[in-house]
Amino acid sequence: MDELQRIWKRHQYVARASTAFIYGILVSIAMNFFWTPGKIYSSGITGLAQLLETLTRNQGLFHPSTALLLFMLNIPLFLLAWLQIGHRFTLFTFLAVVFSSIMIKLLKPITLTTDPIICAIFGAAINGFGTGLALKNGISTGGLDIIGLTLRKKTGKSIGTINMCFNAFIVLAAGAVYGWPYAFYSALGLIVNARVMDMVYTRQQKMQVMIVTNKPRSVVDCIQSHMRRGITIVHGAEGAYRHDKKTILFTVISRYEQHDLKAAMEESDPYAFVSIAENVQIMGRFYEPEP
């Protein structure tokens, strides 16, 4: 058993390191093939690195590249993650940022098009896919993710407002530097990036599940063996057709766990009635695995 656990842990490490490398390639493609030719700014720390590179380009002073700025801006956030989140999380976040910086530097810009709308949409879609893939495999891409996870761990609250304000600053900077139409193009990119990331990273999407069954104990045991979820049991329900006694079970899962739920139901009661409501809001405790 110990040997299997070591093999599984080693497999996870290799998978996460590979994902960090893939993310680095994808963000470099987004940056060098689309954002830079189209004069589009990304979100978060990456967008800030782009902004600082633009502002220092014609000053005759030290002119660091976007790749170097991306790494430098993340250094204090690595320290924060190491102290507040976890060493393993910090290691893979560090790898993701390092691979991103290296690939952005090595992969030379290719101007496929300078159309800002195309560059905003395709750059954001590629970056959103890479970010979602990274998050799905349990690693962060650095930047505001670290601040968000730290704040959520300490207070239980998200930093949605801080994210929006920071990205609004990036959008306004794009307008001030390149012209106000580019502010709208960058805003379009942020929307596409968020939508694609949500499509790939489904762990944060909550779903309410209602199960009507006559085998409640079997269903409860099987679900809880597949995933760590609390279940509310309502006894005394009655079927309207045959007037037989039923039990109703309520739980909330993430979209990421939908396959596990289906496997648990097929194993415990394949004839149960299961209703799933998407995009529910949660108040109270909802278990999320540590990064």
Residue spans of the domains in the chain: they are 2-200, 206-278
- What CATH code would you report for 206-278? 3.30.70.120
Question: Does residue 289 have a pLDDT over 80?
Answer: no
Burial 67-83 (b: 16+ CB within 10 A, else e): bebbbebbeebbeebbe
Task: Find tokens 């239980």 and name the residue.
Answer: 156
Measured distance CA(222)–CA(216) in Å, rounded = 10
Which residue in the block uniquely carries the two structure tokens 């962060």? Answer: 140
Alpha-carbon gap, residue 38 to 21, rounded angstroms: 25
The sign of the torsion formed by the CA atoms of 167, 169, 173, 175 equals positive
Q: What is the pLDDT of residues 138-178, one digit of tens each?
A: 788 888 778 877 776 666 555 566 677 888 888 888 888 88
Length of the chain: 291
In the DSSP assignment, the letter for residue 235 is E
Q: What is the pLDDT of residues 49-58, one digit of tens each?
A: 998 888 887 6
Residue 164 and residue 158: Cα distance in Å, rounded?
12
| Phi and psi at residue 209, to the nearest 5° | -115, 130
Percent of the chain scoring above 90 in pLDDT:
29
Q: Please give the model's pTM, rounded to 2 decimal places.
A: 0.73
Per the model's pLDDT, the better-predicted residue between 230 and 102 turns out to be 102
**For residue 29, what pLDDT band results from cuts at 50, 70 and 90?**
very high
Residues 6 or more apart whose CB falls under 8 angstroms from that of 273 comprise: 211, 212, 213
**E strand or H helix that includes residue 210:** strand 206-213
